[in-house]
């Protein structure tokens, strides 16, 4: 648990026009945006990102879908960013995602569940290094004292 914890959040389906809403939710919750870019990723890059899922029956379809259009690579920082980010996303299957969560509000199908979020601090670090090899610029925010004790 750290107020400096970072998570990698990646909306897909940019065509649906939901990226701004997803960004707003993280901003409103109190997280600090520390990196963001639009990327049309190659299958090879996505296979690295989803390496843990290699062998799953849905893996080829997942890579094909994610490579079919742009994604938005983002890093958000703040208290318990990884766990809170997952709560904000909802369950992997939108059928089980509560209304009020990103998937519970915007998704119906597990293979189109709108947004990825790191599932652990270690995977967040790996994912951030994979998507932002150029590094991340740090900047001061005067809001911290109003958001964290």
The token pair that represents 140 in the structure block: 């001061």
Binding region for ligand RTP (CB under 6 A) out of 19-27, 68-76, 115-123, 133-141? 115-123
Residues in the chain: 149
Pick 62 or 147: Cβ nearer ligand RTP: 62
Minimum CB separation of residue 70 from ligand RTP in Å reads 16
The question of whether 116 is a catalytic residue gets the answer yes
Cα separations in angstroms, 83 against 7, 12, 76, 118 = 9, 20, 12, 9
Q: What values do phi and psi take at 144, rounded to 5?
A: -50, -45
Identify the CA nearest to 81 among candidates 29, 30, 5.
5
Residue 123 sits at the vertex; the CA angle it makes with 119 and 129, to the nearest 5 degrees, is 135
Selected from 92, 95, 122, 143, the binder of ligand RTP by CB under 6 A is 92
Start-to-end CA distance of the chain, whole Å, equals 13
Among 13, 78, 94, 117, the residue binding ligand RTP under the rule CB under 6 A is 117
Using CB under 6 A, pick the residue from 110, 121, 130, 147 that binds ligand RTP.
110
Quote the least distance from Cβ 112 to ligand RTP, whole Å. Answer: 7
Asked if 116 is part of the footprint of ligand RTP (rule: CB under 6 A), the reply reads: yes
Nearest alpha carbon to residue 86 among 113, 119, 112: 119
| Residues with active-site annotation | 116
Please report, as ranges, the residues that interact with ligand RTP according to CB under 6 A. Answer: 53, 58, 62, 92, 110-111, 113, 116-117, 119
């Amino acid at each position: 648990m750290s107020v400096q914890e970072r998570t990698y959040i990646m909306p897909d389906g940019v065509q649906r026009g939901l990226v701004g809403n997803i960004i707003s939710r993280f901003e409103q919750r109190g997280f600090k945006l520390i990196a963001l870019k639009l990327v049309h990723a190659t299958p090879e890059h996505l296979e690295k990102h989803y390496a843990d899922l290699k062998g799953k029956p849905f893996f080829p379809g997942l890579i094909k879908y994610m490579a079919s259009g742009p994604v938005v690579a983002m890093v958000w920082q703040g208290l318990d960013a990884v766990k809170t980010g997952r709560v904000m996303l909802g369950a992997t299957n939108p059928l089980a995602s509560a209304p009020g969560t990103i998937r519970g509000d915007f998704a119906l199908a597990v293979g189109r569940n709108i947004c990825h979020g790191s599932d652990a601090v270690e995977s967040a670090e790996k994912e951030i290094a994979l998507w932002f090899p150029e590094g991340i610029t740090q900047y001061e925010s005067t809001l911290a004292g109003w958001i964290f004790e």
